[in-house]
Structure 1
């Protein structure tokens, strides 16, 4: 694993772990607070409803109290039942009356129960409904007692939890009571729970967003550092490549001078000595002497080979570092190079070359001159050796901010992708690109069966 990746992980992993712990803490504490809040709200609601039920029952007791001691008990009971049936509170608040044996005496919402013994009535769960109420009324008497039970809710048309408060009226053997359905508190608690869960989700969403943007920020910082490092590395590589090319060219120039001023001069002096020796030999009397002819023939052959060697050394010296590039500039060097390549194809020449210069010539740095010259050298060699072209045109354009060299031939072209895939192919093209890149230039290549066009573009120095 790379050091940069390790540093990135060391920055991101603690952040994610801390945010994960924070998310767990938020969820845990949020859930705990939600439960506590629900319990507190439920208890407060129940307390308030219990007090409310006691108040309602006390009110009902006060209404029928004047009738309890009447002499005509039957008439008083009928009047009391009539008064209680008319007393309502809320949407589903009413009073009911049973005798202590389970006989329904008054029920304003379910009149069909009146006159029936409902002591054995069971709810949806199979539990006896009225027995707990009757037992509570017998225990508490006139003081009253709270009881929870399932009962049919008229507005909902189904059984629901109900909190009832019942008292006994011992003078008439009655159980008087009322109740409040608990679905309201269940709805309230469900709303509270939903709100709490929504708040927890929002908080977790914030934590997730912080984690995302924190990780993104760390990643972007790492990417910025990486890009900065890459830019610095690329700049160093370009500088190194430029120095390598410059060193190569300096070494080529040194070798060219050594060959021209050293080896070439020694060979020329040797050639002059041989020529002088051969002239003296030919000036001796008796030229028809076979012994003299045997000496003259090897000397003439050696002199011819020495002459060819001097020419080859001059050619190698010129290719290593053309003196025209330093003395007369890039256009003259390109024209001379084109003529050399053309003359090398035979007599008459198979290749026709042309050099065209556009714009006002600008003195270029040695690095620019060398790169463009080497690209032209490689392109002309490829046109003759591989493309089998008959025409090559070199166009040198001096633009306001750039200098551009275009080489176009009418050869058979090639498939650039195939050349790049071949491990032994495309070395010359890669060399061209590697020469252009350190100077901040670009090189484009377009090849087809109709020919190949190479364009090298270098920025002019400020």
Structure 2
């Protein structure tokens, strides 16, 4: 690691640790505060409801007090008191209930099926003896009791806060209650709001930390930005020079193969043809040699064609003589002749002379693309389109093959080397390279910016060697 990178790391690391510590401390304090607030709200709410219930019970006691204090204990008087209590309700779930001190239900306006039942041993789902708790509180002078009971409006068990008192003259327990599920819902809303506030606070802290770290990092990177740009420029120039050197070497090798080896092979062929003619004129002298010489001629023809093919692949002469479009047409004819592909080449826009490096890059891209289509795509038709736009030159190769996963190909270091090389070559020339592939086929697009081609001497077209 370089010294400047170490200094940058020493500046960023303490800041990141400090912001993390602040975030954890704020989160802990906010959580504690939210829990304390929840406890206070719950306590204040329950106290207010307990006071409200006590007032309700006192109101109910006042309603039946004349009958209780009348001294009459007959069934009619008690029934009148029960009816008076049954009419005292408040809201859909606010009502009064009566039990005797042995746990038998005497009056329940919302659940009349319980009237007359002995509920002394009634237990809630948690195993608590509900009625015994209520009677014990009433005998102790009255008070509030928390328990579970079926809510009439929803027919579901819900937590309930009850307030009960004893009516000792008649041996009754009088009570009422309020369901606490609404309280629980309110408390859950408070908890959700507190959690949201904590998340927003943490997000703000994270954003501030990110901005601070980015500012520090940007300040450090600003010290080296000019050096990095210069280094990148040098690397691009170097890459372009490497590609240019490769193409120059290929052109030199192509000339040597054509002007040297090819001419030698032609001369050998002429000698062998002369020998064959002499043997034909004097068949008695060397009839056995003629078949061998004929085979040699066939093999020399094969070698000669192979040398010409290698020379064209290394550096097609048409690229220098007639331009990129003619070279692409020739490449398509050669590929089509040796495969089942139907290749169409088209041109759009006003043709112009391209710099050598651009023409070579586009030709190599087309060559690599057609080779990949032939080997892997399973396609039947391929179109090669060359477009001379006002500000760029665009090459598009489209096939109707099976396609492939571009993302996986780019991530696999053992595959797609040719495509990566083409992408780097286009990037070195300041162009853009894109490829889209799917079930319907693959489309490859290479775009190079408009650059004025330098003047160059007219290349002489070497004469084709005679094969007669």
Shorter-chain-normalised TM-score: which range? 0.5 to 0.7
SS in structure 2 at match of 1:386 = helix
Cα distance change on mapping 1:383 and 1:285 into 2, 3 Å: closer
1:299 aligned partner? 293
Cα deviation, 1:10-69, whole Å, max 9, x if unaligned, reads xx76xx99xx9xxxxxxxxxxxxxxxxxxxxxxxxxxxxxxxxxxxxxxxxxxxxxxxxx
The 8 Å contact of residues 431 and 449 in structure 2, kept in 1 or not, is answered as yes
Cα distance change on mapping 1:359 and 1:296 into 2, 3 Å: same
1:401 maps onto 2:391 in alignment: yes
1:221 aligned partner? 219
CA distance in structure 2 between the partners assigned to 1:301 and 1:219 by the alignment: 74
Deviation at 1:363, TM superposition (A): 1.2
1:342 aligned partner? 336
Cα deviation, 1:302-335, whole Å, max 9, x if unaligned, reads 1110111011000000100000000001111111
1:328 aligned partner? 322
1:265 aligned partner? 263
SS in structure 2 at match of 1:461 = coil
1:66 aligned partner? none
Deviation at 1:7, TM superposition (A): 4.8
The 8 Å contact of residues 276 and 293 in structure 2, kept in 1 or not, is answered as yes
CA distance in structure 2 between the partners assigned to 1:331 and 1:216 by the alignment: 49
1:370 maps onto 2:364 in alignment: no
Cα distance change on mapping 1:340 and 1:216 into 2, 3 Å: closer
Q: 1:382 aligns with which of 372, 384, 408?
A: 372
Deviation at 1:216, TM superposition (A): 6.9
Where in structure 1 are there 5+ consecutive unaligned residues? 21-211
SS in structure 1 at match of 2:377 = coil
Cα deviation, 1:166-201, whole Å, max 9, x if unaligned, reads xxxxxxxxxxxxxxxxxxxxxxxxxxxxxxxxxxxx
What is the number of residues matched between the two proteins? 259
RMSD across aligned C-alpha pairs, in angstroms? Answer: 2.6
Deviation at 1:8, TM superposition (A): 3.8
Q: 2:410 aligns with which of 391, 397, 420?
A: 420
TM-score by structure 1 length?
A: 0.53
CA distance in structure 2 between the partners assigned to 1:458 and 1:224 by the alignment: 31
SS in structure 2 at match of 1:353 = strand
The 8 Å contact of residues 352 and 388 in structure 2, kept in 1 or not, is answered as yes
Cα deviation, 1:379-402, whole Å, max 9, x if unaligned, reads 011111110211110111111111
TM-score by structure 2 length?
A: 0.52
CA distance in structure 2 between the partners assigned to 1:461 and 1:421 by the alignment: 33
SS in structure 2 at match of 1:302 = helix
1:392 aligned partner? 382
Cα distance change on mapping 1:293 and 1:231 into 2, 3 Å: same
Cα distance change on mapping 1:299 and 1:406 into 2, 3 Å: same
Cα distance change on mapping 1:322 and 1:216 into 2, 3 Å: closer
CA distance in structure 2 between the partners assigned to 1:410 and 1:215 by the alignment: 49
Q: 1:252 aligns with which of 234, 250, 253?
A: 250
Deviation at 1:275, TM superposition (A): 0.8
Q: 1:461 aligns with which of 442, 451, 466?
A: 451
CA distance in structure 2 between the partners assigned to 1:214 and 1:381 by the alignment: 51
Cα deviation, 1:68-106, whole Å, max 9, x if unaligned, reads xxxxxxxxxxxxxxxxxxxxxxxxxxxxxxxxxxxxxxx
Q: Which runs of 4+ in 1 moved over 4 A?
A: 212-218
Alignment of 1:128-147 (within 5 A): none
CA distance in structure 2 between the partners assigned to 1:403 and 1:216 by the alignment: 39
> Larger Cα Rg: Structure 1 or Structure 2?
1
2:342 aligned partner? 352
